[in-house]
Each structure stands twice: as structure tokens, then as C-alpha cells.
Structure 1
Amino acid sequence: MIVELYRDRQPNQETFCRIDPLHVKALAFDMQGTLLDFYSTLIRSGNELMCGKGLNVDWTKIPDRWRQAYRLHLDEMIAGQRPWSSTDAIYRMALDSILHDCAWGSALTIDDRDQLSRAWSCLDPWPDTRPGLQRLRGKFKVATLSNGSMASVVNIVQKHDLPFHCVLTSELVRSSKPDQKVYGLAQVALGLRAEEIVMVACHKYDLLAAKRFGFKVAFIPRPLELGPRGSPDAGREDYFDAMAPSLLVLAELLSPEHAEDRERSDPGTP
């Protein structure tokens, strides 16, 4: 069902590109939400556990609450109000805080909670993720730049055979995006100038921080990131250098032979 909805929401989305691919050498990708469908994975994992325990729970409300609790913990850590922890540990703590307020939460054992939390290390990719990466890696270096733990991102890349040249996460600098240190990590690890790297994400805070660091930025809206009833912010911003409804379209826009198409697709180009 989620795949059909995904396909239905792709047409007629705004597309443009102001990036000269001849001046780009690498693309850095956000993972959760941008390349990975966390909502569907968490719903499936939660429903399977609930059914196995005989609990009648509307699990569709949990992923959004879980992400919000995770973000709160993460922001407190970035602000220095909490000691550094891996995102795996933060997700696990955030789950406990959610379940504390659920009447049925006490029915879930420590093992149950650990099982649920491990779902973040097994997220499924969007339908365009692998084929889009495959096309892009033929022209550019492609690397992850995720807030996920190294263990979780490596596991996902291996499980789904995602064709990255390099796996980078904020854990390597003991911080999280949008901390500028994370974008600095990518620049140093890839051995490039900031303007030679494109940050690809569906989260505007990530792209804005990357832009301030000096990266080019490409927005990939994911209308189903928060599920069929979610409404993520998918509007165009002036600081975007490119916007495409999928990685496959982005790969086309970044092909040198599509220079004229890029100019025609950008309403801001005279």
C-alpha cells in the first residue's frame, strides 16, 4: 500500500536544478526519511509485536511521537544539556519515555522494547533509493551523512546492498546535524572543497545548515515520510540549489547532457 501511495504522490512535484555537475564531485545523503522509509518499517515491527502479545494498539501514532521524543533528546545533547549518546541509545530512551505514558506500556518487557528499538537499524529504503544511488555513483562519489549510529547505518547499507562509496555518520564527531562539525566531517573525509559537495535531504534544517557550511543542497520531498496522514514541509525554499521528486530525477538533472533541461525547469532562470 505504501508503495502505491508513494507512486501516486510523485507526479507534478516541482523540479529544478541550478547545480553545474561539472563542478560537483560528491553527494552526501541524509538517511532516515530521505533514503529510508522509517514510518512503514516501524509500523510493521510494532504491529507484529503487538499481535504476538495479543495487544490491540493503534501503532500508527507511535512513530511520530517516537521521532519527536528522539529529537528532544538529541537537541538537549547538542546544547550540552545531556552527555553524548549514540542515536541507538537515544531511540531506546525515547521509547521508554513514550511507553511510560501509555496504559499498555507496562505490558512490554525490556526484550520487547529492545526489539522495537532495533527496527531503526533495519529500515527499508524508498523504491527509488537504490536505483537512484546506482545511477549517481557512476558520476560522483556517494556517501551517507546521517545522524544514525555507525552500526545502524552500516547494517542498513549491507542489508539492502546500497551502493555507497563511503559511510559517514555524526557519531564519528560525537555530535549530530545540524552541528557544523558534521558537515566538516564529510568535507575532510571526502577530501574536497565544500562547494564540490551536494547535501541531499528531505529535511530543511539539514539543508540550511549544509548550505551555511558551503555545500550545494538538493531537496528531495518525501510526502509519506510521516505516513499517509502526515504532512511534512515540502515547499520550495530560496536557498535550494536543486529540487527533485526522486533520486532518479535528481540523477537526470545532474547529468551534463541535461543542461538545457535544468535551465528550462528552473522558474528563477531568465
Structure 2
Amino acid sequence: MTAPDELADEFERSRARLRAVALRMLGSRDEADDAVQETWLRASRAGARDVESLSGWLRTILGRVCLDMLRARRRRGEVGLDELDVPTSPDDELAQAESVGLALLAVLERLGPDERVAFVLHDLFGVPFEEIAVILERSPVAAKKVASRARHRVVGARRVHAPDVEEKKRVIEAFLAASRAGDLDALLAVLAPDVVRRADRVALPSDGERELRGARRVADETRGNAARARHARVMWVDGELGAVVAPRGRVAIVLRLAIEGGRITELDVIAEPARLRAVDLAALETDLAP
């Protein structure tokens, strides 16, 4: 078999794995496909006559491609609330939810490009630091420090599980499910009768009230936010269970929630950029699987 044929065969064997890595690095199916295609173009142009490990070499090329894409994205800026109401098909929503997990993406989006590449490759796919160092153009020791810093940002805010964590998670998931469905009865079942909703101006329409009181008023408002709720997932918010609305995995709204007796008693809706940056977010353990 000629060297080009061997490279082509190895690329096809590695394609699914490369796409899985790119998907977690980039959070977009289209961008992941573009990154895999660019990896093939660069590899085929360079040739692989003296390469000992074709799979590792392809992964290194992919890492560099994704790093370039992440750096370019960072220069373009943040997502806005106007992106929350862009309609998506049920198939698109399912694919987006299953591909990586919006909660994990929401945390990864807060990492710098080098941190994200290092964390994804090492913590999610077990790539050795010697290989990551080549991609980042750093020493293995420096690459390890970058990954450690990223890991702390991804999981560092998690609180030791208290006995009521699973119950609170169930309540929040029920609230999000009812929000997506616009189900008034289900919302009333999970909201305390005297629930208070507070929101900053960025999260509200121009005529919106900064504070609402009472389950019916909060439920009526929430029913109108089904489009936003599609992008919401349970996460750690400043060490407590809360929720994040993250279209394409990019944080747009954070919900701080107080829960007592199996019902939500307070909702704090945060959308102002400065407040969002100050919130400490972390993914659930179940969101960290590759």
C-alpha cells in the first residue's frame, strides 16, 4: 500500500474520533465537520512518509485547526439575547443536546482557547501532555498547568453533595421541562405560591417588571419563554444548583434558584454581561463524560 493510500485509510478509520474531539472543542456540528475536513486537507498536502503514528499525527493537526478556530471565534465576541429566539427544528435541538451537552459547552466557552484544547484532549480523551504540548507550542509541564487551570474552572465550583441535591435537581429539571412545554399546570406545581422572580433589565423586554410575585404571574411569564428554555440546562451556579440558558453553548442567561419544600421560592434572572462574567459556573459530573 502506498503512503497516500495508507494515510487515507487511517483518516477514514479516525474520522469519527476526530469529529468527536472537534465537536467538544468547538461545540458546533458544522464547525466540527469543517475542522475535520481541514485536517484532511493539511494532512494530504503535507504527506505522512516519515510519520510513526498516523492517528496521533492527525489528532495533532486537528488540535491546531481547532485552536485557530477558537482564537478566531474569541475575537468575534459574545452571543446576544436575540439569538435565543431563533427557531430550530426538533431534530436540530435533539442533535445539539446529544452531541456534547449544553451545560458542558457553557463552561467550556468560558475557557481560553489553549485551556479548552488542553482540557478536552486530556480530561475527556486522555491525550498525553507531550502531544498537547506540541499543539499548544508549550512544554509538557506548561501544558499540564494549562489543563489544570482549565479543570479548576470547569469543576472547581461544585459543592460537596448535600442530601437534598438530587431533589433540587429534580425540581429544576421539572421547571425547565414545564417551561419548554409551556405547561401552566406543571409550572404551578413546581412554583411556590408566593414565589418571587427578579430580573435585570437586559433579561426583560422594555416594559418588563423587574420583580414579579406570585406563582400565577411568574408561570404566565415563563410560558412565553419556551424558545429560551430549549437552551437551558441544570448547572452549578455559585456553588448552588441553578440553570443556565446557553444557545450554542454560549451563556446568555443564568438562573439562580431558591428551593424549599420541593418548590421554587425565588428566581434571580441574570443577563447583564458584567453580572454574567461574575457568576461562577460549573458542570454537573454527569455532563463531563466524553
> Structure 2 length normalisation: TM-score?
0.22
Name the structure where helix makes up a greater proportion of residues: 2
> 1 or 2 for the larger relative contact order (CA 8 Å, sep ≥6)?
1
Larger Rg: 2
> Structure 1 length normalisation: TM-score?
0.23
